[in-house]
Amino acid sequence: MRTTILQIAPRMPTLPQPLPTVRADLQQRLAEAVPYDMAIVGGGATGLGVALDATARGLRVVLIDSHDFAQGTSSRSTKLVHGGVRYLAQGNIGLVQEALHERTLLLNNAPYLAQPLPFVMPTYHWWEMPFYGTGLKMYDVLAGRAGLGGTQLLSRAQTLKHLPTLRPKGLKGGVKYWDGQFNDARLALVLARTAAVQGALLVNYCRATGLIHEQGKVAGVICQDQLTGRVFHLHSRCVVNATGVWVDELRQKDGAALPGKTGATTPAMVAPSQGIHMVVERQFLNADVALMVPKTADGRVLFAVPWLGRVILGTTDTPRHDLARDPLPFPEEVDFILRESARYLRRAPSRSDVKSVWVGLRPLVKPVQNEGNNTKALSREHTVVISRSGMVTVTGGKWTTYRAMAEDVLDKCIQIGLIPPRQSGRTKTLRLLGTDANASAIRPLFEAPGWHSYGSEQDFIRSLPGADDYLCPGLTQAMVRFAARFEYAMTVEDVLARRSRLLFLDARLASELAPRVAEILQEETGASVNVDSFQALAEQYLLKSHKNL
């Protein structure tokens, strides 16, 4: 079975050739003493969405990130573009409606990176089919014209046809519904590059070390290039803190700089929740549909999602009290996913079958008075807060609603007079780089990665040196050179984790390829490239490397 791909809109005007991202040029632009309308700290989904929206409105925009774009939570999602079935069960109708609307916009604006995907929910008790079937029919009603396909009640035989590796014992039938999936890190890069083409200045590996205050109001950002140590002062009429789970760090800096206020009095906004994902071979699911278990033994949701030639198993929802850049899974999380997978799959994956495991931290917004460790009770919605100094902080939300979050931030900034009035809604139909009317550039996202991961830019990349030199299936020397020249890649991790998704698909293979990727990067950038640090990171993605797991 093949996933139905949305109809592509009529051909848009040809976009310019890829914009070079030479580091020296980016630094030279940072050094220019020009006032910005908006300075954004944080290059994840939210910050990049804000940068694109602001630039599309004609504002002068700069965005910096202390690490690589989407290096944190925004590259470690479950890869789903969804309305949120469990939010529907919680009665959060408004959040579901917004997400369903945004889901359609995203699938239309980047169809080679975000696509519809059918899900099948197996039922093992007589009451489950009418109960979940009714709820998912409501999901269809809320989607309206934004629906991707109608919910269907499946017989036992139909369910096993869709999911041939499902355990048949006790199976009554199933419910099929539609949501979407996407390539999160590559979408983040395309957002960054689209904003850059529109005129924004975006720089990764540039840390915000402080804020510029003038007469009690925030007036810019002090930042330091993490590769050279060079310091820059960026003056801006508006500063947006979009650093995800790390927003409280910049909020403390803001509060500490104000007269009569210390950083200690700035209450924390975020209570991080950890979600882990494990990747196994496609054969464990052997389907072009996703498996969704709405209620596991402990009340959580379990997914088995076909993605880039593999299957993602996840996810968990565990409170975490630190903000590690590369958090490790807890032993009980690994046990939970393997145990629950064994309940539903004929051949249960074991630890030795796991090709890669990764962890993401969700920025759940908490009330100041919130106590306890129940992250499921915290808000999944995004929040926009304006400090006494005028710094704008946005956090919470999810990938699917990144565009709506960005629009809310810009509208709020206009409302309180931080930026001049500009028309909103310009990103609703803004096609992202790599998107055109050429349907041949689009392949289903459950297939192994390859040229189609670049959409309409693949022909340009084929013109670069090494187009026929495959480092492994789906990754050529030309793709590495493209990452270095046009996609801000500076390290082996940048290439193998986010430009290519190899680290997330097969950590051991990624480690083996690191030396060759480093050679190509060094040729392109002229800078020394550290292989050892990446190989140490890749070890963390190997489940059996963890002594306690």
pLDDT digits (tens, 9 = 90+) for 166-189: 999 999 999 999 999 999 999 999
Does 1 have pLDDT greater than 60? no
| pLDDT over threshold 80, residue 366 | no
Predicted confidence at residue 92, as pLDDT, reads 76
404 vs 92 pLDDT, higher one: 404
pLDDT at 223: 98
Whole-number pLDDT of residue 375: 33
pLDDT reported for residue 5: 39
Which residue in 334, 322, 323 sits closest to 358, CA to CA? Answer: 334
86 pLDDT exceeds 90?
A: no
- Per-residue model confidence (pLDDT) at position 4: 40
With cut-offs at 50, 70 and 90, classify the pLDDT of residue 13: very low
Average pLDDT over residues 239-247: 97
Give me 341's structure tokens. Answer: 């997978």
Domains of the chain plus CATH, in order, are 23-73+186-268+380-415 (3.50.50.60), 95-180+271-365 (3.30.9.10), 439-545 (no CATH)
Give the Å distances, CA to CA, from 147 to 53, 293, 433. 25, 21, 25
pLDDT at 301: 85
Q: Collapse the DSSP code of 305 into the 3-class scheme (helix H, G, I; strand E, B; otherwise coil) and give the result.
A: strand
Query: How many whole angstroms from its chain centre is CA 499?
Result: 13
Q: For 94-146, where are the E strands, in sequence order?
A: 114-123
- How far, in whole angstroms, is CA 517 from its chain's centroid? 24
pLDDT interval class at 283 (50, 70, 90): very high
Strand pairing category for 114-123 and 290-293: parallel
What pLDDT is attached to residue 16?
55
Q: Which amino acid is at 260?
A: G
Whether 370 has a pLDDT exceeding 60, the answer reads no
What was the pLDDT predicted at 256?
74
Q: State yes or no: pLDDT of 11 exceeds 60.
A: no
Distances (CA, A) of 4 to 101, 118, 180, 391: 18, 9, 11, 44
Over residues 279-297, mean pLDDT: 94
> How many percent of the chain have pLDDT more than 90?
77
Distance of CA 109 to the CA centre of its chain: 16
Does position 290 have pLDDT exceeding 80, yes or no? yes
